[in-house]
Chains A and B, each alone.
Chain A
Amino acid sequence: MIEVKDLKKEFKKTIKDPGLSGSVKSLFHKKTETVKAVDGLTFDVAEGEILGFIGPNGAGKSTAIKMLTGILTPTSGTLKINGQIPYKNRKQYVKEIGVVFGQRTQLWWDLPLTETYSVLKEIYMIDESKFKDRMEFLNEVLDLQEFIKSPVRTLSLGQRMRADIAASMLHSPKVLFLDEPTIGLDVVVKDNIRKAIAKINKQDKTTIILTTHDLNDIETLCERIVMIDKGKMVYDGSLMKMKNTYGKIREVDVSLFDGNSADKIKLSEAFGLTCEDYDIEKKGTGLVLKFDSSKVNMTDMLNYILKTVGVRDIAVKEADIEEIIRMIYRSEVKLSE
């Protein structure tokens, strides 16, 4: 359904020397610098799949999504979605996709919500009977009834997001792009939106690309994730595999009687670990220790700690998905294995 090959996007950025003199200088002589926002992405998405597209802020997610939706023209690489090339014939291409940018709205701000839907009905040339069925379905899934007659500006953020998702689904698109659809929402609303997305995916076999910073979104919805950082792909595979591969990182929180004694713990000497295998962070009178449990098992590690320092309290944690991703973002985990 979606084929992306070696996709690249470069921007020219003007560099300005600091201060007023810099501003004046840049008026006459512009220095530019090329920024690689997306630097060689390759992945496929099958029909009906929900792909989680994640990465830290500024990783190039939005730029990638904007290319996939036909807004931006790639610098190089090939792109084929639903049999079409997004940037070639934008008007034709966007007829069969739906897009939600969580931070923006496609609703008519001052008009009752229904008006947005009637405008969209005309734009997409949806038949009256089809439109009715569709509205009924979306209403059932997203529960729009209570605010459908209110002007959009009076809606709460959660209502607005539901309305926006409905607006992007009205024409039964084959591919749906959801860019942070749960941003700024409370737990209950997030949960409802996730359920709605899952239902839409199941009923319509819609292919969905979902970007989010909320990993619960990913855990409930996506079987597969693509992670990018600095414009490059750092992981492509199932969530399970990621957990199994990187879940071996374990965390031990230790609270000490004497904060200074923390220095006595020397893992490289005790177990021959290299600095890539562990991480120690001091926190007040305690410390947080992360290590690779495939190199040293937990029992040995605990024994060593209890023997070396005076422990007031100790807690062992399994690294959850959030922790794994945090480590990948901070490049603490090498993904090239």
Chain B
Amino acid sequence: MNRLRKIRRTYGAFTNAGIQDFIAYRANFLGFFLGEILMCFVMYFIWKAVYASSGKTDFMGFSMVDMMVYVFLTNIAGFITGTDSTYSIAEEIKDGSIIMRLIKPVKVDLSFLFFELGNKVMLMTCVFIPVMLGLELYRYFALGYVAFKISRLILFVISISISYLLAFYLNLIFGYLAFFLLNLWGFNILKESIIKFFSGAIIPLAFFPGPVRAVFSRLPFASLTYTPVMIYMEKYTGSELVINMLMQVMWLAIFILISKLIWIWAEKRLAVQGG
């Protein structure tokens, strides 16, 4: 308990700084946010055209309303789980400023994580709540009844929190690659594309043929955005829901472990750049 309080005190300060940092760059954020919303509408119209030309109202269990919810929810999930940790840690390793973290009595990964959590707190209040409200209103008018379930929202929040941590550690591992490669720009773009495709952010995994879908949904990328979105949309129920959430936890544990191992290795062999 005492230990927990200590952690909260130490790293809570980072979260606080993260919130203020977010506020300092709100204009930048607004541009980013508008761009993402615009992207959502582009995706929406593409799918609308697909549905219209197919002449069906239902495709692989997804109605047009589902698709709308899916597109916006996936983007929101991407927004929440999106993390700069690859970029920020790689940058600090590259220019050697990571030593400024090492001279403080804090864990390097947690200091990054809690700072970003400050950003996420702001993101949740400024983006998540209004967009979800809009989405539910749309669902209500399109379907004619309230499809919203509080239990699904709670499960979604739990699942997306795990997703975020998973994304954070996955990206941290990529960031650590800077110890070996020193410049990650190209790799990072490759990683982004892989995640976008395999996590179902572009095309729902349900649309892939059976065996491919089976493989994709077992990969860690599906745990990132696809699982929480499927949970919210009630596409996962019963044992499927439990299995998929357990998968998330399992991948999270694996990534935390890998990141710890790399860090232990790197700390011993650290060669600081410059100065």
B-binding residues in A (CB < 8 A) = 11, 62, 66, 69-73, 90-92, 94-95, 97, 99, 101, 103-106, 108, 110-111, 115, 118-119, 121-125, 151
Can you give 20 contacting A-B residue pairs, CB < 8 Å? A70-B102, A71-B102, A71-B270, A72-B270, A73-B268, A90-B102, A90-B267, A94-B103, A95-B105, A105-B100, A106-B103, A106-B104, A110-B24, A110-B25, A118-B13, A119-B13, A119-B16, A119-B17, A123-B106, A125-B10
Q: In the complex, which of the residues A97, A105, A123 contacts B10, with contact meaning CB atoms closer than 8 Å?
A: A123
CB proximity of B26 to chain A, nearest CB, Å: 12
Q: Which residue of A lies closest to B97 (CB)?
A: A104
Q: Are B100 and A91 in contact (CB under 8 A)?
A: no
B residues less than 8 Å from A71 (CB atoms):
99, 102-103, 270, 272
A-binding residues in B (CB < 8 A) = 6, 9-10, 12-14, 16-17, 20-21, 24-25, 96-97, 99-100, 102-107, 267-272, 275
> Complex formed: what's the CA distance from A97 to B104 in Å?
9
Q: Are B100 and A104 in contact (CB under 8 A)?
A: yes
Q: Are B20 and A115 in contact (CB under 8 A)?
A: yes
Q: In the complex, which of the residues B6, B17, B100, B105 contacts A101, with contact meaning CB atoms closer than 8 Å?
A: B100
Q: In the complex, which of the residues B14, B105, B270 contacts A124, with contact meaning CB atoms closer than 8 Å?
A: B105
In the complex, given contacts A104-B96, A111-B17, A118-B13, what are 17 additional A-B residue pairs having Cβ atoms less than 8 angstroms apart? A11-B271, A66-B272, A71-B103, A71-B270, A71-B272, A72-B271, A91-B107, A99-B103, A101-B99, A108-B21, A110-B21, A111-B20, A111-B24, A118-B16, A119-B17, A123-B105, A124-B105
B residues less than 8 Å from A103 (CB atoms):
275
Q: Are B24 and A91 in contact (CB under 8 A)?
A: no
Q: Which residue of A lies closest to B96 (CB)?
A: A104
> Complex formed: what's the CA distance from A321 to B94 in Å?
37
Q: Which residue of A lies closest to B268 (CB)?
A: A73
Q: In the complex, which of the residues B12, B16, B24, B272 contacts A72, with contact meaning CB atoms closer than 8 Å?
A: B272
> Complex formed: what's the CA distance from A103 to B106 in Å?
22
Q: Which residue of B lies closest to A112 (CB)?
A: B20
